[in-house]
């Protein structure tokens, strides 16, 4: 899908054709769409479709007439029947007169510019517009990371009741997401660092926006690292709790086995092939009842002792 936008004052409005200062937004473009845009703007078609590859790494590639910037940004996906976050590439192509963005799916990072009212936002100021996209990506990472930490805190609040595999899978998915984020953020940091070294991409009037993007991206990296350590501690806590529960179950089963072994031993002794006169209460009128009562009393006494020692 091809969408064309251009800024008018502080508003972003759709336009009908590509003119100088137009933002060309490609979302999951077909080969024909990529070819048409590449022909109009003088771009290699392979570079237009570079960000469609989910394995594409963050990088900066300079050509004679344009610059290709590939960065990673957060995106939702489904894993193990759970809605989680992953990262997908975003391609930004900076030509002499236009900015082209290419992504495999619609994203809130770019859609936020459709209706945004941002001071000094201009698609004609191509560098500032690209840096604002980078800044918005870093802020989006922070927003998602804050949501992950909130989910982790909710998990810890109900950790005493955790007995479902879904909770453990959710914790694992949060940890996996943080691994993906950390890797992608470091790649984006490398891209931002390279942009500061390119003279034609580092205009003094736009440097403040680039610096803000670098600072926010670094903050997102630190947040991801901290949250990974916290979740690792939570996972170890869950493991300790599960081990403790297993130990408690084993102690209770052992205690129950001890209590039940008393009537087993007594009944086994009375079932032996020995003379009746040697067995207590064998000739008593109510011998069977007496033996059962003694057995029950012995079981109750042992149970009370185990209960007092907190093993039952």
pTM of the complete model: 0.77
Which residues, in sequence order, are bridge partners of residue 188? none
Looking at 59-63, 94-98, 106-110, 167-171, which range is the least confident one?
167-171
Average model confidence (pLDDT) across the chain: 82
Co-location of 128 and 228 in the same domain: yes
- Structural domain of residue 82, as residue ranges? 2-244
- pLDDT band of residue 116 (cuts 50, 70, 90) is low
The domain boundary residue, chosen from 220, 244, 268: 244
pLDDT at 293: 85
Query: What's the start-to-end Cα distance of the chain, in Å?
Result: 67
Looking at 57-66, 87-96, 158-167, 174-183, which range is the least confident one?
158-167
Measured at the CA of 87, the angle between CA 85 and CA 92, to 5 degrees, comes to 140
Co-location of 179 and 91 in the same domain: yes
d(CA 31, CA 302): 80
The domain boundary residue, chosen from 244, 261, 285: 244
Is the separation of the CB atoms in 173 and 79 below 8 Å?
A: yes
The domain boundary residue, chosen from 198, 221, 244: 244
Co-location of 12 and 138 in the same domain: yes
Q: How many CB atoms lie within 10 A of CB 295?
A: 16
Q: What are phi and psi of 141, to 5 degrees?
A: -60, -45
Is the separation of the CB atoms in 41 and 98 below 8 Å?
A: yes
Write the CA distances from 34 to 28, 29, 53, 55, 112, integer angstroms.
Answer: 10, 6, 14, 19, 23
pLDDT at 138: 92
- pLDDT band of residue 19 (cuts 50, 70, 90) is confident
Closest among 92, 84, 88 to 184, alpha carbons compared: 88
Co-location of 53 and 161 in the same domain: yes
Co-location of 43 and 74 in the same domain: yes
Co-location of 263 and 221 in the same domain: no
pLDDT at 211: 87
Three-class HEC string of 54-78: CCCCCEEEECCCEEEEEEEEEEEEE
Which residues, in sequence order, are bridge partners of residue 27? 103
CATH code (residue 175): 3.30.460.20
Closest among 96, 133, 90 to 114, alpha carbons compared: 133
DSSP strand E in the chain: where? 2-8, 11-14, 23-27, 59-62, 66-79, 82-95, 99-103
Closest among 140, 11, 171 to 76, alpha carbons compared: 140
d(CA 99, CA 6): 10
Q: Tell me the average pLDDT across 281-309.
A: 80
Tokens of 159: 């950790």
pLDDT of 199 higher than 60: no
Co-location of 23 and 171 in the same domain: yes
d(CA 188, CA 278): 89
Write the CA distances from 131 to 73, 134, 208, integer angstroms.
Answer: 14, 5, 9
Co-location of 253 and 295 in the same domain: yes
- pLDDT band of residue 160 (cuts 50, 70, 90) is low
Q: Which residues contact 255 (CB under 8 A, 6 or more apart)?
A: 303, 306, 311, 312
Co-location of 273 and 225 in the same domain: no
Co-location of 144 and 58 in the same domain: yes
Co-location of 296 and 166 in the same domain: no
> Into how many domains does the chain fold?
2
pLDDT of 163 higher than 60: no
Co-location of 177 and 279 in the same domain: no
CATH code (residue 282): 1.20.58
Tokens of 169: 């899978």
Query: Higher pLDDT residue, 202 or 239?
Result: 239
d(CA 116, CA 129): 12
d(CA 306, CA 256): 9
Tokens of 267: 């009944």
d(CA 179, CA 130): 26
Q: Tell me the average pLDDT across 152-167.
A: 71
Measured at the CA of 22, the angle between CA 59 and CA 2, to 5 degrees, comes to 75
Looking at 64-68, 72-76, 114-118, 190-194, which range is the least confident one?
114-118
């Amino acid at each position: 899908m091809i969408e064309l936008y251009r800024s008018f004052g502080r508003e972003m409005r759709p336009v009908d054709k590509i003119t100088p200062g137009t933002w060309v937004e490609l979302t999951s473009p077909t080969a024909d769409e990529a070819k048409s845009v590449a022909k109009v703007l003088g771009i290699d078609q392979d570079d237009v479709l570079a960000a469609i590859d989910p394995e594409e790494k963050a990088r900066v590639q300079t050509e004679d007439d344009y610059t290709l910037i590939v960065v990673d940004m957060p995106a939702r996906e489904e894993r193990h029947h759970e809605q989680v976050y992953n990262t997908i590439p975003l391609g930004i192509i900076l030509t002499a007169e236009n900015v082209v963005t290419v992504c495999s799916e619609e994203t809130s990072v770019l859609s936020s510019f459709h209706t945004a009212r941002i001071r000094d936002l201009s698609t004609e100021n191509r560098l500032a517009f690209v840096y604002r996209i980078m800044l918005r990506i870093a802020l989006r990472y922070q927003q998602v990371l804050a949501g992950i930490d909130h989910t982790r805190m909710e998990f810890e609040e109900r950790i005493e009741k955790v007995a479902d595999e879904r909770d453990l899978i959710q914790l694992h998915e949060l940890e996996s997401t943080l691994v993906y984020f950390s890797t992608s953020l470091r790649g984006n940091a490398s891209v931002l660092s390279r942009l500061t070294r390119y003279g034609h991409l580092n205009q003094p009037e736009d440097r403040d926006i680039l610096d803000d993007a670098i600072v926010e991206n670094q903050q997102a990296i630190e947040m991801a690292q901290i949250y990974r350590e916290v979740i690792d501690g939570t996972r170890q806590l869950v493991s300790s709790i599960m081990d403790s529960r297993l130990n408690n179950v084993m102690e209770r089963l052992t205690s129950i086995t001890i209590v039940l072994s008393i009537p087993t031993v007594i009944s086994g002794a009375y079932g032996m092939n020995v003379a009746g006169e040697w067995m207590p209460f064998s000739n008593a009128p109510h011998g069977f009842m007496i033996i059962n009562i003694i057995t029950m009393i012995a079981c109750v006494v042992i149970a009370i002792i185990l209960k007092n020692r907190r093993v039952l």
